[in-house]
């Protein structure tokens, strides 16, 4: 019997309920446990069959509003030990709550264990045997669900964003997003004399190869100016701890408490919640005073040295799913920089490091520590990344859009994280000084022959066949009668159905 968990967030126009209703017609699941977040209330779910949990309650760890923890299954030694490899990552994801670290280790562990206890109880109680995420698990609660699925051996599919709008890797784990595409490339497309790319991929490829600077920037920023993007990110970051916002939030809670509290205990808990939020507010404000923006970075950074042989490392925007969790053990990017700087020095190269131009704030110590790593030179954000890549032996990063952009332009890339383009020609996954030196030496040997654009196009064709091209959530509010609404829904359902059949969780004739 099929029981599924479905991450259903940012729905509009009844999109997610329509997807699940038609998926049920195909594969006949018994129950659907789900997280839900809808912008217009248009989704409707059959009571009993669907068990919706509000996404905001999960994100804010407010399970007390919907359950009595005394009724949940306790956590035992076996589960706690099995979850240990995922524990630190889950706790670190609490940074997403305020876009900065404000919790003590004890607080972080308490919140993690509450997420773990709630979702362990839910997955076991409803006997879930298939889990689907419509984006990379990058908040504590959805990463806990993902980790539990791995521990229990529950079949999982994760939609991982790519360089292409509405096109996703559909992976079983965060580490295997590249494997199916790489196999398809090796076994099919690499041997074809010529390939035809899907329209959106062909347009992207042509823009990266032949587009002007303005066209490339429009592709990356989706029409927003660099100046506006920088200011938007800074304003949002500062706004999380804006005084007026916090006062309004606390007054709202107090009003709710006065109007709704049924007894003394509830009033006391409400007051404690306000005091706790105010402590976080104070910590957040203090944290902000310890942080700097790219203005400070650009003051301590410099310019490329003409004629210097170098490798260029591009820092990730943080916090974001590309580094947490996809950065893996190198989520702290100075660790990757230190490894690469040592490797580059031993082979006669300088390591340039360039900050992401929209990074709103970082701890000042992060930039100071980078500056103190031997053989590292920080490059100001105003220098063109495209030109920096062009002048380098190779580029490097955790993962992200720069990986594919660079290899399309003919420059190899070293990656330290989990990238769906890991199997692409010209991409080398590294994690140690020895790995880096071997990759750099290989790149030097192959420098004259370069990266075959025929092979790049073949890999993109394999990716096109293997990727999911669909709205996985309808946050843009497409109308039900829109052709793309219907087409997108059908593609998503077909993709999930295919993976379920591959796994043996539904029969070939499921749905009739």
Percentage of the chain exceeding pLDDT 70:
89
Query: What pLDDT band is residue 225 in, cutting at 50, 70 and 90?
Result: confident
Verify cis geometry, omega within 30 degrees of 0, for the bond prior to 44.
no
- Report the C-alpha gap between 321 and 66 in whole angstroms: 28
Structure tokens at 111: 């919140």
277 confidence band (pLDDT: 50, 70, 90): confident
pLDDT greater than 90 at residue 272: no
The predicted structure's pLDDT at residue 512 = 42
Structure tokens at 269: 């808990």
CB count within 10 Å of CB 206 equals 13
Q: Which two tokens stand for residue 386?
A: 């495209």
When mean pLDDT is compared across 160-169, 176-185, 254-263, 343-352, the lowest value belongs to 254-263
Share of the chain above pLDDT 90, in %: 67
What does 259-316 look like in DSSP terms, one character per residue? HH--SHHHHHHHHHHHHHHHHHHHHHHHHHHTEE-HHHHHHH-B-PPTT--EEEEEPP
Say if residues 491 and 27 touch (Cβ distance below 8 Å).
no
**What is the per-residue pLDDT across 341-366, written as a single tens digit (0 to 9) for each?**
999 999 999 999 999 988 999 999 99
Give the lowest-confidence range in 94-103, 114-123, 249-258.
Answer: 249-258
Average pLDDT over residues 16-44: 91
Model confidence at 240: pLDDT above 90: no
Q: How confident is the model at residue 511 (pLDDT cuts 50, 70, 90)?
A: very low
Q: How far apart are CA 158 and CA 267, in angstroms?
A: 41
pLDDT of residue 128: 98
Enumerate residues 6+ apart whose C-beta is below 8 A from 247: none
Per-residue pLDDT for 46 more than 70?
A: yes
- The pLDDT, as a whole number, for residue 455 is 96
Q: Is the predicted pLDDT of residue 1 greater than 60, yes or no?
A: yes
Helix (H) or strand (E) holding 219: helix 213-221
For the segment 410-438, what is each residue's pLDDT rounded down to a tens digit?
A: 999 999 999 999 999 999 999 999 999 99
pLDDT in tens, 55-107: 989 998 999 989 999 999 999 999 999 999 999 999 999 998 888 888 999 99
**40-67 mean pLDDT:** 91
The residue ranking higher by pLDDT, 193 or 263, is 193
pLDDT over 70 (residue 51): yes
Sheet of 130-133, strand order? 50-54, 29-38, 2-11, 130-133, 155-161, 167-171, 468-469
pLDDT bracket for residue 223 (50, 70, 90) = low
For the chain, the 3-state helix, strand and coil shares in percent, each to the nearest 5, are 50, 15, 35
Rounded distance, CA 88 to CA 83, Å? 10
Lowest-pLDDT range, 18-27, 140-149, 181-190, 470-479?
A: 470-479
- For the ranges 65-69, 101-105, 224-228, 247-251, which has the lowest average pLDDT? 247-251
More confident residue, 96 or 127: 127
Q: Kindly indicate the confidence band of residue 288, based on its pLDDT and cuts at 50, 70 and 90.
A: confident
Decide if pLDDT at 4 tops 60.
yes
pLDDT category of residue 483 using cuts at 50, 70 and 90: confident
Flag whether pLDDT at 251 surpasses 70: no
Task: Give the pLDDT band of residue 258 (cuts 50, 70, 90).
Answer: low
Q: Report the chain's mean pLDDT, rounded to a whole number.
A: 89
Average of pLDDT values for 467-484? 71
User: Angle CA(51)–CA(160)–CA(354) in degrees, nearest 5?
Assistant: 135
| pLDDT-based confidence at residue 22 (cuts at 50, 70, 90) | very high
pLDDT at 488: 86
């Amino acid at each position: 019997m099929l029981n599924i968990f479905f991450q259903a967030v940012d729905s509009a126009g009844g999109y997610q309920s329509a997807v699940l209703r038609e998926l049920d017609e195909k594969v006949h699941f018994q129950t659907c446990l789900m997280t839900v977040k809808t912008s217009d209330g248009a989704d409707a779910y059959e009571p009993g069959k669907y068990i919706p949990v509000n996404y905001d309650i999960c994100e804010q760890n407010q399970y007390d509003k919907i359950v009595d923890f005394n009724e949940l299954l306790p956590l035992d030694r076996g589960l706690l030990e099995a979850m240990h490899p995922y524990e630190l990552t889950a706790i670190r994801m609490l940074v997403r709550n305020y876009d900065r670290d404000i919790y003590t280790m004890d607080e972080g562990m308490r919140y993690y264990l509450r997420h773990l206890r709630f979702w362990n109880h839910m997955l076991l109680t409803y006997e879930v045997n298939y889990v689907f995420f419509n984006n990379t698990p990058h908040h504590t609660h959805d990463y806990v669900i993902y980790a539990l699925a791995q521990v229990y051996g529950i079949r999982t599919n994760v939609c991982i964003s790519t360089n292409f709008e509405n096109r996703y890797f559909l992976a079983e784990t965060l580490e295997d997003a590249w494997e199916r595409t790489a196999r398809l490339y090796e076994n099919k497309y690499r041997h074809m004399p010529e390939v035809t790319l899907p329209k959106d991929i062909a347009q992207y490829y042509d823009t990266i190869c032949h587009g002007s600077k303005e066209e490339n920037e429009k592709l990356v920023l989706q029409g927003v100016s660099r100046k506006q993007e920088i200011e938007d990110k800074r304003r949002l970051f500062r706004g999380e701890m804006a005084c007026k916002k916090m006062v309004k939030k606390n007054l709202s809670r107090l009003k709710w408490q006065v109007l709704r509290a049924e007894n003394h205990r509830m009033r006391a808990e409400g007051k404690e919640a306000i005091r706790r939020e105010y402590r976080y507010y104070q910590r957040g404000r203090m944290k902000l005073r310890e942080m700097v923006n790219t203005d400070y970075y650009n003051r301590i950074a410099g310019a490329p040295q003409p004629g210097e042989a170098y490798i260029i490392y591009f820092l990730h925007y943080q916090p974001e799913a590309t580094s947490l969790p996809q950065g893996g053990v190198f989520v702290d990017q100075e660790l990757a920089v230190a490894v690469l700087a040592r490797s580059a020095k031993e082979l006669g190269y300088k390591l340039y490091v360039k900050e992401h131009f929209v990074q709103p704030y970082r701890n000042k110590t992060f930039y100071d520590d980078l500056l103190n790593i031997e053989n590292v030179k920080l490059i100001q954000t105003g220098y063109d990344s495209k030109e920096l890549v062009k002048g380098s032996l190779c580029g490097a990063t955790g993962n992200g859009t720069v990986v594919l952009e660079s290899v399309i332009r003919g420059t190899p890339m070293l990656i330290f994280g989990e990238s769906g383009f890991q199997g692409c020609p010209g991409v080398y996954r590294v994690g140690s000084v020895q790995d880096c030196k071997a990759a750099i030496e290989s790149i030097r040997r192959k420098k004259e022959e370069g990266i075959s654009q025929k092979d790049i196009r073949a890999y993109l064709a394999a990716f096109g066949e293997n990727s999911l091209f669909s709205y996985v959530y309808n946050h843009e509010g497409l109308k039900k009668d829109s052709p793309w609404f219907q087409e997108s829904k059908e593609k998503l359902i077909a993709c999930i159905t295919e993976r379920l059949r591959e796994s043996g969780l539904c029969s070939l004739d499921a749905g009739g």
